[in-house]
């Protein structure tokens, strides 16, 4: 965020602390696109991501007095979104044991503009991972959690977290290789 944006965010935050509904709406509109992108990494589709986003903002507004000013406000809100996604994951109790995983077909768009893999294509690949794989991959590769933190948060061992990440990466690598092979075939003939 730019200093000007930080100032605006701080002003909105102060208004939100006073229960000013207009300030809350403005804060939501300002941060929702970024936070939706965070939620999309954990969700299987946009509808689920929007549900996580709403749950996250509700938690944020309920707990806003708990923000102590340590670290960035946006980072604090981002953590709430991640924890909302993880909470949803826990409630669903759809944790898949690594040994029970049956690889899914991951549909990937091959439309390109000549600049290599597009972010949306990679996002589709990550979203198509089974819930456990997607959560561990996002928490480690995107959010920077350690395997110990992931294990503690998701109720699995550190070793299972490492194994799940390894397998998620292998699945993504395989899908990228399949995509490259398809494109090569299209170019050749």
Q: What's the CATH number where 3 sits?
A: 1.10.1740.10
Say if residue 116's pLDDT is above 70.
Answer: no
Query: What are the tens digits of pLDDT across the range 143-161?
Result: 889 999 999 988 899 999 9
Q: Is the pLDDT of residue 47 over 60?
A: yes
Co-location of 102 and 15 in the same domain: no
Q: What is the mean pLDDT of the chain?
A: 81
Instruction: Say if residue 75 is in the same domain as residue 113.
Output: no
From 34, 64, 93, give the residue that closes a domain: 93
Are residue 60 and residue 103 in the same domain, yes or no? no
What average pLDDT does the segment 23-50 reach? 92
Q: Do residues 87 and 111 share a domain?
A: no
Of the three residues 51, 72, 93, the one that is the final residue of a domain is: 93
Same domain? 8 vs 88: yes
54 and 105 in one domain?
no
Q: Are residues 5 and 66 in the same domain?
A: yes
79: containing domain: 1-93
Nearest to 90 by CA among 32, 42, 38: 42
CATH number for the domain including 119? Answer: 1.10.10.10
3-state DSSP of the chain? CCHHHHHHHHHHHHHHHCCCHHHHHHHHHHHHHHHHHHHHCCCCCHHHHHHHHHHHHHHHHHHHHHCCCCCCHHHHHHHHHHHHHHHHHHHHCCCCCHHHCCCCCCCCCCCCCCCCCCHHHHHHHHHCCCHHHHHHHHHHHHCCCCHHHHHHHHCCCHHHHHHHHHHHHHHHHHHHHHHHHHHHHHHHC
């Amino acid at each position: 965020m730019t200093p000007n944006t930080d100032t605006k965010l701080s002003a909105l935050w102060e208004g939100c602390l006073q229960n000013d509904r207009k300030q809350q709406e403005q804060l939501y509109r300002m941060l929702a696109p970024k936070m939706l992108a965070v939620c999309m990494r954990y969700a299987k589709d946009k509808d689920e991501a929007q549900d996580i986003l709403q749950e996250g903002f509700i938690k944020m507004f309920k707990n806003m007095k708990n923000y102590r000013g340590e670290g960035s406000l946006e980072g604090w809100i981002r953590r709430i979104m991640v924890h909302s996604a993880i909470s949803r994951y826990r409630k669903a109790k759809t944790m898949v044991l690594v040994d029970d995983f049956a690889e899914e077909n991951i549909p990937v768009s091959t439309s390109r503009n000549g600049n290599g893999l597009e972010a949306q294509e990679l996002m589709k690949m990550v979203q198509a991972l089974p819930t456990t794989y997607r959560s561990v991959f996002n928490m480690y590769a995107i959010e920077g959690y350690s395997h110990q933190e992931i294990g503690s948060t998701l109720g699995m061992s550190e070793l299972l977290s490492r194994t799940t990440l390894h397998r998620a990466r292998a699945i993504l690598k395989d899908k990228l290789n399949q995509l490259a092979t398809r494109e090569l075939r299209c170019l050749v003939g």
